[in-house]
Structure 1
Amino acid sequence: MTDPYSPQFDDRDRLWGLPDPDTQPGFYAGVPLKRLVAWLVDFVMVAILTAIVVPFTAFTALFFLPVLYFTLDFIYRWSTIANGSSTWGMRLMGIELRTRAGQKLDSGLALVHTLGFILTSATMIPQLLSAGMMLTLPRGQGLTDVVLGTTAINRA
């Protein structure tokens, strides 16, 4: 066991149960692009779901379409992340979300992660900041990931 008071001690040893991006880069290889493609797949899936729901509201949902879309997106993301630590788009791309301890996200953390994602996506500046962070941070974490200590990795 590493002595936390040793000068050789690295905070990553204590704070992360995730693969180290320097020693195990394969877990993070191509993840930002995969996250983008997964986001596009998820966007299309939720848009189709929204289009299916609209007629069942006698088309009154057209008056509050963004609210309906974000509500369905929230439910979709929360339920899929809580039941597999990834959305269907992420599964298609072979990536999944993990906690700082290296565990899959539970329902509570999936809820908070989804809320952070929706809030970040709703405004331009946090969304651009998050995308920039995914491209520059060693673990490819977005804004919500950094706050919660989560990250997306390639499935083993």
Structure 2
Amino acid sequence: MENEQKLGAGIITISILMLIGTVISILATIFVMVVGDSLNSLMLQTGQVDASMIPTTGQYIFGLVTTLISGISVILILMKNKYGIFGYFGLFILNTVYNIIVSGTAGTAIISLIISIAIAALYGYFIYKKRALYGFVEETV
């Protein structure tokens, strides 16, 4: 009976936007990992970036893995599976802490952090409103 209820428009909208972002992020990360060395050496030669600003392969792999798991979690949320909620918000916290450690809290990093927290809070609110779908509320007869 609980799976007969429909997901809200907010959950569906944010999930679709996240899935689109996931696909773009995966494709961009793979592209940068394939041709990144030549791009990085060109930018270093022209003086556009400092060597410390170039992400390492480990950072790319971490980002790729977290993006894949986050995309799977969003799909699970759309399938009304509560493990998707745990996965998504667990990865959100992990990724937020990681980004603060790597990027710090200055300039565009703090703006990006505020936007990601706002989107996750909005997503959490929409899921909270439909929490019965995920088995978090005992329905009384």
TM-score when normalising by structure 1: 0.29
**Greater strand fraction, Structure 1 or Structure 2:** 1
**Greater helix fraction, Structure 1 or Structure 2:** 2
